[in-house]
Amino acid sequence: MPYNFSEIEKKWRTFWENNKPPKNTNKPKFYCLDMFPYPSASGLHVGHWRGYVLSDVLCRYKILQGFEILHPMGWDAFGLPAENYAIKMKTHPRISTNESINNVRRQLKEISAVYDWDREINTTDPNYYKWTQWIFLQMFKKGLAYEKKMPLNWCPNCKAVLANEEATNGVCDRCGSHVTKKMLRQWMLKITDYAERLLNDLKLLNWPKKVKKMQEDWIGKSFGASVDFKITDKNLTIKVFTTRPDTLYGATFLVLAPEHELIEQLTLPNQKNLVDEYIKSASAKSYVNRMSDKEKTGVFTGSFAINPLTNKKIPVWISDYVLADYGTGAIMCVPAHDERDFDFAKKFDLPITPVIENGIMINSDEFNGLNCDDAKEKITQKLEQLGIGKQTVNYKLRDWIFSRQRYWGEPIPIIHCPKCGLVPVDEKDLPVILPDVENYQPTETGESPLAAIDDWVNVKCPKCGATAKRETNTMPQWAGSSWYFLRYADPHNDSCLADPKLLKKWLPVDYYVGGIEHAVLHLLYARFYTKFLYDIGVVDFNEPFLKLFNQGMINKNKTKMSKSKGNVVSPDELVKKYGCDSLRMYELFVGPPELDCEWNDNGIDGVLRFLNKFWNFICEYKDKIIEPTKKLTIMRNKMIFEITNRIENLSLNTVVSGFMEFTNNFIEICKNENGIDSQTLSAIIIMLAPFAPHLSEELWQTIGNNKSVFEEKWPTYDKNNMQDETVNIVLQINGKLRSNINVDINLSKDEIISLAKENLKTRLAGKNILKEIYVPNKIVNFVVK
């Protein structure tokens, strides 16, 4: 008889809503966090479910292990996609966002996860973004938030500035448009001040290696030296950064980025036209062309520098293959040992001097014969003695471009006063509310739509009272998500971002579950925020997420699910057809949780069949209670041991297959014994509870309990009672399987070997046994000739 999942699931969902787990207990805490969703209009698909089911299984397992859990949920609801969607639908982002939230919340409830909905947060709620703005003000006060006019990544489609992290390869992360450069005044966060700590503290984290590596590469620390090159006939010095000071004798020219500030002074009159033209064309090149054109271009300034070690005159060139915002924006070129310099030298016919041969220095005066690692050190020392260089460290990490010229974001709480300059909004006046406007569409000019709202923009300076203007840029979507995990500890607090006592109780996050796509952006920003809040005494920990788990993506037709590709599988119908418990277990069964996998509805049948079988098995045997037999006891211990281990290793796909396997065996044993012992019956239901919570609750009640199964304790196993009385020994000859025997567990090695010989008598006849290999409880292998 099939079980009625829809009735059972409805019944227990209602029960849980009215019977929430107790709070403020003395139990140890477990803070398990899902990356909060951006509430998209298209809702959740089965790929989203995967992570949420995984974290819920973990939470329910921890509840049974005696933990008090924090498992909250909220909405990362500001940002461009929400705004673009609202524009498309001709509605206000607040309205469309709320609709999406209601839909996604409904879908999330279908999972029956143990979310604490009393702690729900929303980044667009003024009571929330008050504190997003407050953190910004603290950064401003510490000099970490600053304004700068600079060429920035501009997405002509999104009509917004992008952070470097959002514009990888010169392509907009969001819409795929080619990013151009635009000169704009922007707010920046000095994340570079934290580069070293962000790098070093990765060591402390239990994160996937891959993610750590990605952050490490993004921070991009490199060691080298800065070297001063004097310009002939001019009182000028060009400073370069190099990771290869050992090759200094081979530096035969210098190249400056087109944006280098000394270009004007360096350019000789007869080169001026050419130089101006080159700089113009370089800046007109789109970001992506500049990055991808491997063909070198450049122009000679007319000036020469002196190589401080060879004392030779070397020409100073300009080329866009040198980046203005890394190192000093100028490089020394060693065409013999650098491919890019080589290309440039070939193209413009510049001298090439090799200084290393097979790792040994040549053409380098006193350093000849050293290996290049030693030479690195020695030459750097010499530069330091001469006072023209020193050991230097550089990072690829740039400061975080923090302002966006769009409507749907947190207003930056700064006032521009003609007399006082930048004035922070008084903390007591927070939040600076995002005004409701008719027209929130982005502009072509790079000015925020907020700039058009006069009665919002025009204010009195809080310092001097003069007429002043509000900052009209808003924060990027990352602002709200950089600290939300703190707010969950105390989501309704109106006097601080969270009560320090509650922060101490719950933080840091013990287990963070989400997709790999945030490996650099969100996870780096959140770590930066946490370190800053640590520095100003708001939190007492340095790293927000101790353990990170990235669930693999679920594909359909080998492609990532997306509405535009039309390959989205919605969980809604599947829940109706198979029930929540079946879908939960199938989400885990599809494959190892950390790997990508292909979705196929068909497999859910198998899980539903298993749950049916389990239901029927328990219904049949619940009244056939017998004293535990040896066989049942061994089976129970083995099962508890296996299932527990597999959960601890997060091998949840094999937990599900384990349940199937054990149940099949159990049914057989119970049939033979004509009953089941109550201990085993309980253990099996409790262990299934994190996976199929509704069915387990129902069964728990069916076997005569009147409390929730989640008030029980996770079963324990007896290590000394897991071994069957007999064991199967594989018999091999020359490593090939020939037979196997079932022997008493207590037999000695010699007894087993003689049994094996007996068993393989005909095969061994006339052969010479060279070696007998015996692996206890596993194998006997005869090496024969």
Partner RNA sequence: GCCCGAAUGGCGGAAUUGGCAGACGCGCUGGACUUAGAAUCCAGUGUUUUUUUAAACGUACCGGUUCAAAUCCGGUUUCGGGCACCA
Q: Which residue has the tokens 């937990």?
A: 655
Q: Which stretch binds RNA (CB under 7 A): 23-31, 146-154, 238-246, 500-508?
A: 238-246
Distance (Å, rounded) from C-alpha 633 to C-alpha 628? 6
- CA Rg, the chain, in Å? 34
Q: Which stretch binds RNA (CB under 7 A): 116-124, 423-431, 606-614, 625-633?
A: 606-614
Interacting residues with RNA between 382 and 441 (CB under 7 A): 394, 396
| From candidates 657, 678, 682, 701, binder to RNA by CB under 7 A | 657
Is residue 591 within the footprint of RNA (CB under 7 A)?
yes
Quick one: angle between helices 521-535 and 209-219, nearest 10? Answer: 70
Is residue 244 within the footprint of RNA (CB under 7 A)?
yes
Interacting residues with RNA between 251 and 280 (CB under 7 A): 257
In the complex, what is the shortest distance from the CB of residue 623 to RNA, in angstroms, rounded to a whole number? 20
In the complex, what is the shortest distance from the CB of residue 729 to RNA, in angstroms, rounded to a whole number? 8
Show the DSSP H helices in 314-452 as ranges: 339-348, 372-386
Q: Which residue has the tokens 């292990």?
A: 65
Distance (Å, rounded) from C-alpha 560 to C-alpha 567? 8
Interacting residues with RNA between 194 and 213 (CB under 7 A): 209-210, 213
Is residue 606 within the footprint of RNA (CB under 7 A)?
yes
User: SS3 of 619, please?
Assistant: helix
Report the residue number, 213 or 563, with the smaller CB distance to RNA: 213
Is residue 734 within the footprint of RNA (CB under 7 A)?
yes
| From candidates 23, 90, 203, 294, binder to RNA by CB under 7 A | 294
Is residue 669 within the footprint of RNA (CB under 7 A)?
no
Distance (Å, rounded) from C-alpha 285 to C-alpha 279? 10
Report the residue number, 433 or 773, with the smaller CB distance to RNA: 773
| From candidates 272, 735, 744, 769, binder to RNA by CB under 7 A | 735
Is residue 740 within the footprint of RNA (CB under 7 A)?
yes
Interacting residues with RNA between 534 and 563 (CB under 7 A): none
| From candidates 242, 267, 364, 472, binder to RNA by CB under 7 A | 242
Q: Which stretch binds RNA (CB under 7 A): 15-23, 288-296, 577-585, 686-694?
A: 288-296
In the complex, what is the shortest distance from the CB of residue 468 to RNA, in angstroms, rounded to a whole number? 38
Report the residue number, 244 or 694, with the smaller CB distance to RNA: 244
Is residue 737 within the footprint of RNA (CB under 7 A)?
yes
Is there a contact between 492 and 12 (Cβ–Cβ < 8 Å)? no
Pairing verdict, β 253-256 and 330-333: antiparallel
Looking at residue 752, its amino acid is I
Report the residue number, 66 or 735, with the smaller CB distance to RNA: 735
Report the residue number, 452 or 727, with the smaller CB distance to RNA: 727
Is there a contact between 434 and 232 (Cβ–Cβ < 8 Å)? no
Q: Which stretch binds RNA (CB under 7 A): 23-31, 358-366, 419-427, 594-602?
A: 594-602
Instruction: Please tell me the total number of residues recorded for the chain in this structure.
Output: 785
In the complex, what is the shortest distance from the CB of residue 517 to RNA, in angstroms, rounded to a whole number? 8
Report the residue number, 175 or 773, with the smaller CB distance to RNA: 773
Is residue 373 within the footprint of RNA (CB under 7 A)?
no
| From candidates 41, 202, 214, 569, binder to RNA by CB under 7 A | 214
Report the residue number, 203 or 736, with the smaller CB distance to RNA: 736
Show the DSSP H helices in 507-651 as ranges: 521-535, 571-578, 580-589, 604-621, 630-648
Measured CA to CA in angstroms, residue 553 lies from 20, 344, 721 at distances of 32, 43, 40
Looking at residue 519, its amino acid is A
Instruction: Give the CA angle between residues 121, 127, 128 to the nearest 5°.
Output: 45
Report the residue number, 151 or 592, with the smaller CB distance to RNA: 592
In the complex, what is the shortest distance from the CB of residue 65 to RNA, in angstroms, rounded to a whole number? 22
Nearest to 144 by CA among 95, 179, 195: 195
Is residue 779 within the footprint of RNA (CB under 7 A)?
yes
- The conformational region for residue 260 under phi > 0 = left, psi -120 to 50 = alpha, else beta, is beta
- Strand order, beta sheet including 769-775: 736-744, 726-733, 779-784, 769-775
Is there a contact between 707 and 701 (Cβ–Cβ < 8 Å)? no
Transcribe 146-178 into DSSP letters.
EEEEEEEEEETTTTEEE-GGG-GGGB-TTT-PB
Is residue 781 within the footprint of RNA (CB under 7 A)?
yes
Q: In degrees to the nearest 10, what's the CA dihedral of 155, 156, 158, 164?
A: 0
In the complex, what is the shortest distance from the CB of residue 212 to RNA, in angstroms, rounded to a whole number? 10
Interacting residues with RNA between 636 and 655 (CB under 7 A): 651, 653-654
Distance (Å, rounded) from C-alpha 785 to C-alpha 783? 7
| From candidates 322, 434, 670, 681, binder to RNA by CB under 7 A | 322
Q: Which residue has the tokens 């990888």?
A: 168
In the complex, what is the shortest distance from the CB of residue 764 to RNA, in angstroms, rounded to a whole number? 13
Interacting residues with RNA between 63 and 102 (CB under 7 A): none
Interacting residues with RNA between 325 and 364 (CB under 7 A): 326-327, 329, 331-332, 338, 340
Report the residue number, 87 or 150, with the smaller CB distance to RNA: 150
In the complex, what is the shortest distance from the CB of residue 681 to RNA, in angstroms, rounded to a whole number? 20
Distance (Å, rounded) from C-alpha 406 to C-alpha 599? 37
In the complex, what is the shortest distance from the CB of residue 393 to RNA, in angstroms, rounded to a whole number? 10
Interacting residues with RNA between 687 and 726 (CB under 7 A): none
In the complex, what is the shortest distance from the CB of residue 671 to RNA, in angstroms, rounded to a whole number? 10
Is there a contact between 534 and 540 (Cβ–Cβ < 8 Å)? yes
Is residue 578 within the footprint of RNA (CB under 7 A)?
no
Is residue 239 within the footprint of RNA (CB under 7 A)?
no
Both tokens of residue 589?
A: 């069964």
Distance (Å, rounded) from C-alpha 431 to C-alpha 152? 28
| Total of residues contacting RNA (CB under 7 A) | 79
In the complex, what is the shortest distance from the CB of residue 433 to RNA, in angstroms, rounded to a whole number? 36
Distance (Å, rounded) from C-alpha 515 to C-alpha 29? 24
Report the residue number, 17 or 718, with the smaller CB distance to RNA: 718
Interacting residues with RNA between 167 and 196 (CB under 7 A): 168-169
Transcribe 704-726 into DSSP letters.
T--S-GGGS------GGG---SE
Distance (Å, rounded) from C-alpha 643 to C-alpha 659? 8
